[in-house]
Structure 1
Amino acid sequence: MRSLELFAGAGGLAIGMARAGFQHAAVIEWDHDACETFRENQRHHAHAVEGWPVHEVDASQFDYSSLGSDISVISGGPPCQPFSMGGKHRGNQDERDMFPEAVRAVRELRPQAFIFENVKGLKRESFTSYFSYILLQLQYPEISRATNEEWAVHRDRLEQHHSANKAAATYNVLFDVLNAADFGVPQKRERVFIVGFRSDLGARWSFPSPTHSSDALLVSKWIQKDYWEEHEVPKARRPEPPERLSTRIERLRSSPPLLIAKRWRTTRDALLGLPDPEVDLDNVIPNHLFTPGARTYAGHTGSKLDEPAKTLKAGYHGVPGGENMFVKDDGGVRYFTVRESARLQTFPDEYEFHGSWSQTIRQLGNAVPVRLAEMVARSVANSLRACPDRGGQ
Structure 2
Amino acid sequence: MTDLSVVEICAGAGGQSLGLHLAGFHHKLAVELDPTAAQTLSVNLQRLQPDDDVSEIVKVGDVADDDVWEPEKYAGKATLLAGGVPCPPFSVAGKQLGSADERDLFAWAVEAAGRMQPEAVLLENVRGLNDARFAGYRQAVVDRFAALGYTAFWELLEAKDFGVPQLRPRMILVALRPQYVEYFAWPEKSAVTRTVSEVLGNLMAANGWRDEYLAKWMTAADKIAPTIVGGSKKHGGADLGPTRAKRAWAELWTDGHGLADSAPGEDWQPENHPRGPKLTVEMVARIQGWLGEEYRWDFEGRKTSRYRQIGNAFPPPVARAVGESLAQALTRTQKSTAVPAPRRVHDEVYRLLRDRDEPLTAERIQQLLGSTMTIEKITQRIESLARDFTLEVQSRGGRRTYRLGEWKAFRGQDDHDRHLAFAEAKIRAKVS
TM range (shorter): 0.5 to 0.7
Q: Does 1:7 align with 2:10?
A: yes
User: Partner of 2:150 in structure 1?
Assistant: 171
User: Partner of 1:327 in structure 2?
Assistant: 253
Task: Give distance in 2, aligned partners of 1:304 and 1:87.
Answer: 31
Task: Give distance in 1, aligned partners of 2:142 and 2:206.
Answer: 45
Indicate conservation of the 8 Å contact 1:185/1:344, yes or no: yes
Query: What amino acid sits opposite 2:230 in the alignment?
Result: A
* Change in 2 beyond 3 A, CA 1:68/1:172: closer
Of 76-85 and 62-71, deviating more is 62-71
Indicate conservation of the 8 Å contact 2:6/2:26, yes or no: yes
1:186-197 aligned within 5 A = 186-197=165-176
User: Partner of 2:116 in structure 1?
Assistant: 109
**How big is the shift at 1:126?**
1.5
* Change in 2 beyond 3 A, CA 1:70/1:267: same
Q: Does 1:198 align with 2:177?
A: yes
Q: 1:54 aligns with which of 40, 52, 58?
A: 58
Query: What amino acid sits opposite 1:101 in the alignment?
Result: W
User: Partner of 2:23 in structure 1?
Assistant: 20
* Change in 2 beyond 3 A, CA 1:49/1:105: farther
Q: 2:99 aligns with which of 92, 97, 111?
A: 92
Indicate conservation of the 8 Å contact 1:208/1:376, yes or no: yes
Task: Give distance in 1, aligned partners of 2:128 and 2:84.
Answer: 14
Task: Give distance in 2, aligned partners of 1:358 and 1:115.
Answer: 29
Deviations 1:335-392 (A, max 9, x none): 3211111101112563122223222222222111100110111011011111799xxx
User: Partner of 1:163 in structure 2?
Assistant: none
Task: Give distance in 2, aligned partners of 1:50 and 1:136.
Answer: 40
User: Partner of 1:150 in structure 2?
Assistant: none
User: Partner of 1:251 in structure 2?
Assistant: none
Task: Give distance in 1, aligned partners of 2:220 and 2:142.
Answer: 37
Task: Give distance in 1, aligned partners of 2:11 and 2:19.
Answer: 11
* Change in 2 beyond 3 A, CA 1:136/1:49: farther
Task: Give distance in 2, aligned partners of 1:49 and 1:32.
Answer: 21
Query: What amino acid sits opposite 1:308 in the alignment?
Result: I
Indicate conservation of the 8 Å contact 1:26/1:54, yes or no: yes
* Change in 2 beyond 3 A, CA 1:203/1:129: same
Indicate conservation of the 8 Å contact 1:201/1:387, yes or no: no
**How big is the shift at 1:49?**
8.6
User: Partner of 2:225 in structure 1?
Assistant: 309
| Local SS of the residue matching 2:221 | coil
| Local SS of the residue matching 2:39 | helix
| Local SS of the residue matching 2:183 | coil
Q: Does 1:370 align with 2:316?
A: yes
* Change in 2 beyond 3 A, CA 1:2/1:172: same
**How big is the shift at 1:133?**
1.4
Deviations 1:261-311 (A, max 9, x none): 22x10001221432557768xxxxxxxxxxxxxxxxxxxxxx951111110
User: Partner of 1:67 in structure 2?
Assistant: 74
| Local SS of the residue matching 2:153 | strand
| Local SS of the residue matching 2:327 | helix
| Local SS of the residue matching 1:102 | helix
Query: What amino acid sits opposite 2:177 in the alignment?
Result: R
Indicate conservation of the 8 Å contact 1:324/1:336, yes or no: no
Task: Give distance in 2, aligned partners of 1:94 and 1:186.
Answer: 31
Indicate conservation of the 8 Å contact 2:71/2:113, yes or no: no
- RMSD across aligned positions (CA): 2.8
Deviations 1:51-99 (A, max 9, x none): 4511112111121233342321111111011111212211111000011
Q: 2:202 aligns with which of 245, 258, 273?
A: 273
User: Partner of 1:352 in structure 2?
Assistant: 298
Query: What amino acid sits opposite 1:98 in the alignment?
Result: L
| Local SS of the residue matching 2:225 | coil
Indicate conservation of the 8 Å contact 1:48/1:351, yes or no: no
**How big is the shift at 1:110?**
1.1
Q: 1:384 aligns with which of 317, 330, 337?
A: 330
Query: What amino acid sits opposite 2:112 in the alignment?
Result: A
| Local SS of the residue matching 1:194 | strand
Task: Give distance in 1, aligned partners of 2:49 and 2:196.
Answer: 23
Indicate conservation of the 8 Å contact 1:312/1:324, yes or no: no
| Local SS of the residue matching 2:202 | coil
Question: Unaligned regions of 5+ residues in structure 1, if any?
Answer: 142-169, 212-260, 281-302
| Local SS of the residue matching 1:335 | coil
Task: Give distance in 2, aligned partners of 1:113 and 1:181.
Answer: 25
| Local SS of the residue matching 2:19 | helix
Question: Unaligned regions of 5+ residues in structure 2, if any?
Answer: 210-218, 232-237, 255-263, 265-269, 336-432
| Local SS of the residue matching 1:270 | helix
Task: Give distance in 2, aligned partners of 1:19 and 1:273.
Answer: 25
Runs of 4 or more consecutive aligned structure 1 residues displaced over 3 Å after TM superposition: 39-42, 45-52, 200-203, 275-280, 323-326, 328-332
Indicate conservation of the 8 Å contact 1:203/1:384, yes or no: no
* Change in 2 beyond 3 A, CA 1:12/1:171: same
* Change in 2 beyond 3 A, CA 1:49/1:139: farther
**How big is the shift at 1:128?**
1.6
The structure with more radius of gyration: 2
TM-score where L is the length of structure 2: 0.61
| Local SS of the residue matching 1:139 | helix
TM-score where L is the length of structure 1: 0.67
